[in-house]
Amino acid sequence: MKIGIVNDLPGVAALLQRVVGVDPSHRIVWTALNGAEAVELCAKETPDLILMDMVMPVMDGVETTRRIMASTPCAILIVTGSIRVNANRIFEAMGHGALDAVDTPPLHTGTTGDGFEPLRAKIATISRLVGDKRGGRRVADPGSRGSHPPRHDRLVAIGASAGGPAALATVLGDLPGDFPAAIVIVQHVDEQFAAGMATWLNQGTALHVRVAVEGDRPRVGEVLLAATTDHLTLKRPDQVGYTPDPVDYVYRPSVDVFFHSACRLWRGDVIGVLLTGMGRDGALGLKALRDHGHYTIAQDEATSAVYGMPKAAATINAAVDILPAGRIAAKLIDFLAIKV
């Protein structure tokens, strides 16, 4: 995998080079000292992955991510001094298409020490994602295609990845406080800042957003956000929980896993929504929902930061409607009004 490094601190850049060099299948194609230089270098040779700093002179990581994803899109991993301190900037960068974020290893950390392991693991995961031409293994749906039990409530199941925070903020921000459905979101996000993302989304919506915990029951007026690297799933018709299976699935938490569980267990109407993201996660689950008679939406190409997941859904005819992010909330409101 070809990797670019963007960091204004020579010591940190050198450490990242050593970390990357541990795996002989990775090759550093360039190193930039600021965002403006990174944009120029990326135009000359676009890597498979960029390790992006957040706080830099000339151009910060948010604007650099925006420009690169607009002109020469590729996988971007935010490597920052503190995820907690830079949470808002990270969410902005993810809104422009960054995949994930990780704390910078301490400068004294050796390339085989514990401090370097989180970065190494994320690079390995993204390497699998970038090289996953088929979109990972199919998540089996062990349920039968029987009729649905009587409806007790309505569930909006939303999946998102790269660019998801901005799209989610748009959709949730346009929903009223009396929106008549429970909402569950599976966003590919590191558990270190899932709680921060819930707080960030809360600031722009009339609904209550919080991280999902084992045994939670989806409720009208509340938005549950997947919060660990285990998969969020319906374990009972009215109760969510986490599972490590499938353990080797590249997408964690997986949108497909939740969509399939909702298809099997939810007693009522499900609306599946698949937003911007790299790869194919969620496409098969969205198709299963549509095949079972549920209404499904995929975000359109024009408003997707990364047109991977919704494109995969559109390709297999999994979406009833393909809509820009700014029209999804209105469509949800209108659809549920008709279904009353």
Active site residues: 161, 188, 281
In whole angstroms, give the CA distance from residue 259 to residue 274: 10
Containing 313, the helix (H) or strand (E) segment is: helix 309-315
How is residue 272 written in tokens?
A: 């599946």
**Eight-state DSSP code of residue 58:** S
Task: Round to whole Å and give the CA distance between 189 and 175.
Answer: 23
3-class DSSP state of 116? helix
The answer to whether the Cα torsion of 199, 201, 202, 207 is positive or negative is negative
- Lateral strand order in the sheet of 222-225: 208-211, 222-225, 182-187, 153-160, 268-274, 295-299, 321-323
Would you state the structure tokens that stand for residue 270, as one six-digit string? 């499900």
CB atoms within 10 A of CB 114: 9
Give the residues across from 77 on adjacent strands: 51, 100
The token pair at 203 is 């600031």
What is residue 182's three-state secondary structure? Answer: strand
Element housing 209 (H / E) = strand 208-211
